[in-house]
Structure 1
Amino acid sequence: MNTIQLSVVIPVYNEEAGLQTLFDRLYPALDTLGISYEVVFINDGSRDRSAALLREQFQKRADVTRVVLFNGNFGQHMAIMAGFEQSRGQRVVTLDADLQNPPEDIGLLLAKMDEGHDYVGSIRRQRNDSWWRHVASRAMNNLRERITRIKMTDQGCMFRAYSRDIINAINSCHEVNTFIPALAYSFARNPAEVVVGHDERLAGESKYSLYSLIRLNFDLMTGFSLVPLQMFSMAGMLISVFSGLFFVFLVVRRLIIGPEAEGLFTLFALVFFMIGITLFGIGLLGEYVGRIYQQVRHRPRYLVEAVLESRSED
């Protein structure tokens, strides 16, 4: 079998309206690279005609197209993990199906890898997202870098290139919840970033709600660092010290001034504040315990219904 130089992994979820445009732009862009390639689509339980369109495209370009059909919706990152396991290229590029990142820029990622980098991330040149997405993304980037020491300028962009060594390392992991760009960064010896184009979504709506983004960042924080737990341990010790000092202050004040009813609401405020911190800390601890619980059950991360591929090369 001839060695495939490039695999393009594309998760698909309810992208019926824009798939044909993706096909029309993706394959010509890859043909112009002048290298052997394959495109691996993963249908993540789409409820529209995405699966049917992928089947049709496979029939048209069976020589370079493979389609993985999930029997349910398991999420973008699990779809990409399945694509990694199916990919055969020496380099792998992940691309969203919504065409917000132009497939014509795949050559930019590969050119950067030619300089000796084993993992190349991307920075969107001009983000066409809502203002709150800009603010939330910037805040989470700063927090993530401080906690995990993982440096990614634009963590929300999945348009990235990976060497085969990085893909093999990722495939050896069996984490139920993970953040693929951060996982790859932890394995990379010489990571880099390039600036790529960013357009408005061609059709449909974003699959990431505010809750999904919060969940994703929780996975990132708790999956790659123990710093959140350590921060709450330190906070607990500091609060204990200040609480002890405050108790001594109140006792001395009572002995000198006598009973004071006016301080009751101040105590209530302090108690509610402590309760809030405690509940948040318990929730954070529960996040780690929940990850352990999901991992030890050893349930399949995803279920593949079928894989459409040509066997002519075997």
Structure 2
Amino acid sequence: MNPIELSVIVPVYNEEQGLHALFDRLYPALDKLGVSYEVVFINDGSRDRSAAILREQFQKRPDVTRVVLFNGNFGQHMAIMAGFEHCRGQRIVTLDADLQNPPEDIGKLLAKMDEGHDYIGSIRRMRQDSWWRGVASRAMNRLRERITRIKMTDQGCMLRAYSRDIIDAINSCQEGNTFIPALAYTFAQSPAEVVVGHEERAVGESKYSLYSLIRLNFDLMTGFSVVPLQIFSFTGIIVSLLSAFFVVFLLIRRMIVGPEAEGLFTLFAIAFFLIGITLFGIGLLGEYIGRIYQQVRHRPRYLVQAILEKSE
């Protein structure tokens, strides 16, 4: 049996309307590469006909198609993790099913790997997202880079290529919540980036809400750095020192000027500010404790209902 050179992992969640268009572009693009490949679709508990369409595609191209069916919705990153654990290629490419990243650009990532790189990220050229997605993405990128020291120009683009060594390292991790591109970056010896195309979503709608993006970045920052906790500790020290100086100031003022009724609302404002900092710190601490709680339960990250693949 010849080894598979390329595995393309495609998570699918309620993509019924766009799957046929994906098939029409993905398979010809891979055929042109002239390498042995497999396409691993992971159905992440879709509630539409996505699973049935994937089954039909498997029956059409069983030699290069595999389908992993979840019995529920476990999220995009868990779907990709399942793809990592079931793929067999020496090089692995992740691709969204919405065709916003053209499958024809997979060759660019492989060509960059031929230069000796083991992990290839991508930068979307002329992004077609809504304006708020662009602003939020740039802000999160800057915040993430400052906190984690992980330099990814475009963390939201899922079109990425990984060597088998990096995939094996990722599979050895048992984290319940993680951010795969950042995790791969920490294992990579020679990461690189390439510019890829970006198109408007033709059908359907984005599965990431604003809350989902914020939740994802919380996982990124708390999963790869303790800097947020350190910042809060330093903030507590500074506020404590300022509070001490303020108490001394009020004591001296009382001795010189005497008791005053003025300044009551100023004290209220200061008290509310300190309460706000305290609540923020408790929430931040809760994020880390929540990650520990989820990890120590040792629940399965996902449950596979069935795997469609050609028997050897």
Question: Do these two structures clear the TM 0.5 threshold for a shared fold by scoring above it?
Answer: yes
Deviations 1:109-158 (A, max 9, x none): 00000000000000000111111111111111111111101000000001
State the one-letter code of the partner of 1:64. V
Q: Which residue of 2 aligns with 1:138?
A: 138
Aligned residue for 2:89, secondary structure, equals coil
Distance 1:118 1:156 in 2: 20
Q: Which residue of 2 aligns with 1:293?
A: 293
Distance 2:260 2:36 in 1: 82
Q: Does residue 236 in structure 1 map to residue 231 in structure 2?
A: no
Distance 2:7 2:20 in 1: 20
Distance 1:11 1:117 in 2: 25
Deviations 1:53-98 (A, max 9, x none): 0000000000000000000000000000000000000000000000
Structure 2 length-normalised TM: 0.99
Q: Does residue 103 in structure 1 map to residue 100 in structure 2?
A: no
Q: Which residue of 2 aligns with 1:43?
A: 43
State the one-letter code of the partner of 1:280. F
Deviations 1:159-188 (A, max 9, x none): 100000000000000100000000000000
Residue 34 of structure 1: CA displacement? 0.2
Distance 1:143 1:259 in 2: 46
Question: Number of residues paired by the alignment?
Answer: 312
Distance 2:292 2:207 in 1: 27
Distance 1:46 1:236 in 2: 46
Distance 1:279 1:300 in 2: 32
Distance 2:260 2:213 in 1: 48
RMSD: 0.5
Q: Which residue of 2 aligns with 1:59?
A: 59
Aligned residue for 2:69, secondary structure, equals strand
Q: Which residue of 1 aligns with 2:305?
A: 305
Give 5+ residue unaligned stretches, structure 2: none
Residues 185-200 of structure 1: pairs in structure 2 closer than 5 A: 185-200=185-200
Aligned residue for 1:26, secondary structure, equals helix
Q: Which residue of 2 aligns with 1:3?
A: 3
Residue 279 of structure 1: CA displacement? 0.2
Residues 151-300 of structure 1: pairs in structure 2 closer than 5 A: 151-300=151-300
Q: Which residue of 2 aligns with 1:125?
A: 125
State the one-letter code of the partner of 1:131. W
Distance 2:160 2:135 in 1: 23
Aligned residue for 2:33, secondary structure, equals coil
Distance 1:306 1:153 in 2: 37
Which 4+ residue blocks in structure 1 deviate beyond 6 angstroms?
none
Distance 1:261 1:95 in 2: 65
State the one-letter code of the partner of 1:214. I
State the one-letter code of the partner of 1:62. P
State the one-letter code of the partner of 1:175. E
Distance 2:129 2:82 in 1: 28
Q: Which residue of 2 aligns with 1:88?
A: 88
Identity of aligned residues (%): 82
Q: Which residue of 1 aligns with 2:70?
A: 70
Residue 257 of structure 1: CA displacement? 1.0
Q: Does residue 13 in structure 1 map to residue 13 in structure 2?
A: yes
Residue 260 of structure 1: CA displacement? 1.9
Aligned residue for 2:17, secondary structure, equals helix
Distance 2:129 2:23 in 1: 24
State the one-letter code of the partner of 1:215. R
Residue 242 of structure 1: CA displacement? 0.6
Distance 1:96 1:58 in 2: 18
